[in-house]
Amino acid sequence: MISGPLDHFRSGYVAIVGLPNVGKSTLLNRLLSTHLAAVAPRPQTTRHRILGILNGPGFQAVFLDTPGLLQPKYALQQQMKRQIDLALKDADLVMLVLDASRPDPDRGQVPPMLSGRKVLAVLNKVDLVRDKSSLLSEVDRLNKEGAAEVFMVSALRGGGVEQLKAGVAALLPEGQAFYPPDAVADRPEKFFAAEFVREAVFNLYGEEIPYSTAVVVDEFKERPGRKDYILVTIYIERESQKAILIGRGGMAMKRAGSMARRQIEAFLGRPVYLELRVKVAEAWRNDIRFIRENVYGSDRPSGTA
C-alpha cells in the first residue's frame, strides 16, 4: 500500500472498464463524491464515456466511466463498445472493476483486450461478501494475470475507496494537471440533464422500456428571475411503449419527471422546470443515423469528451 505525499505531481487518464452492472458508475460517483454518472440496478445503463476529474494532494486523476463490456448485438451496442475503445485509447491506466459478490468463472481474469496495459483491478461490492477470505484466491489470480494492484472496495458504502484513490495516484505518470483544479466534468449541463432523465427511466421501468429509450434535451433556457426551463423528448421504439411510459393518467411519467428533476436540481444546485414529451422513433436502436444524432450528438468526434 502506498501512502504519504507523492514526490512529483502526477496526472493521467484512468479508464474504468468492466462487465455491465459491476458498479463502475457508482464507483466514479464515489471517487468524485458527486452524482455525475447515471446508476441503475439493471445492466447497460451507461452509454457514453463520462469524464470525471479527481484532484488530490499532488495528483489529478481524469476518470473515464464506460459502458459495460459486451458482445454487441445491435447498432447502439456497437457504438457503446466504441466508447470503451476510445476511453482505452486515452488511458494511462485501466481500472478493471469486477463484481466480488457474483460467482463468475472468469471473474478473476484480466480480459485479453487489456494485455499490455497498466491495470489496476477493483473487486467491488465486497459489502455483499460475508467471507472476504474467499476472495484471496481471486486477488492472487489477478496479480498473476499482471494486475499492477488489486483493491477490494464497496463503491456503494465507500469502504476501501480512500486506499483506492491513493493507489491510483501512485500509478499515474508524472505530469502537469490537464484541467483546472475546480473542474469536475467536461460535458455541458444539458448532457447531464438528459442522463438524469434516462437514469429515472432505467430505475422506474421494467422489461424493454429502458433499452428502447433515448433522451434528447430540446431546450435548456436560463430565465432571469425564474427557474431554468428544460424541454426533453423521450424517444421510444414502438407506439405500444408510449402508453407504458406515460402510465395511467400520466402517473408513471409524472413520477419519472419528478425523480429526474430532483437529480438535475441537485446537480445544478438550482431549481428547474422540467417538461417531458414522448415520441416514437421506430426501432432506433438499429438506426445508426438516429444514434449518431440523438444519442452521441453532443460527443466530439475524437478526444476525451
Ligand X SMILES: Nc1nc2c(ncn2[C@@H]2O[C@H](COP(=O)(O)OP(=O)(O)OP(=O)(O)O)[C@@H](O)[C@H]2O)c(=O)[nH]1
For 131, the grid coordinates are 467471507
Q: In Å, how far are 29, 94, 279 from 36, measured between CA atoms?
A: 6, 20, 26
Chain positions 180 to 239 lying near ligand X, rule: CB under 6 A, are none
Q: How far is the CB of 228 from Mg ion (least distance, A)?
A: 26
Describe the strand order of the beta sheet including 214-223 as a list of residue ranges: 214-223, 226-236, 272-280
Chain positions 212 to 251 lying near Mg ion, rule: CB under 5 A, are none
The residue within the footprint of ligand X, chosen from 12, 68, 108, 160 (CB under 6 A), is: 68
Query: Roughly how many angstroms between the first and final C-alpha of the chain, as a whole number?
Result: 32
Chain positions 2 to 61 lying near ligand X, rule: CB under 6 A, are 20-26, 39-41, 43-46
Name the DSSP letter for residue 210.
Answer: G
Pick the stretch among 1-9, 122-130, 233-241, 249-257 that binds ligand X (CB under 6 A): 122-130
Describe the strand order of the beta sheet including 149-152 as a list of residue ranges: 50-56, 59-65, 10-17, 93-99, 119-124, 149-152
Q: What is the DSSP string of 216-245?
A: EEEEEEEETTEEEEEEEEEEESSHHHHHHH
What is the C-alpha to C-alpha distance for residues 41 and 23, in angstroms, rounded to an integer?
Answer: 9
Number of residues that bind ligand X (CB under 6 A): 23
Nearest to 60 by CA among 17, 18, 92: 92
Contact letters for Mg ion, residues 6-45 (x by CB under 5 A): ------------------xx-------------------x
Does 154 interact with ligand X (rule: CB under 6 A)? yes
Comparing CB distances to ligand X, the nearer of 11 and 23 is 23
Does 46 interact with Mg ion (rule: CB under 5 A)? yes
Does 95 interact with ligand X (rule: CB under 6 A)? no
Q: Which residues bind ligand X (CB under 6 A)?
A: 20-26, 39-41, 43-46, 67-68, 124-125, 127-128, 154-156
- Summarize as ranges the residues that interact with Mg ion (CB under 5 A): 24-25, 45-46
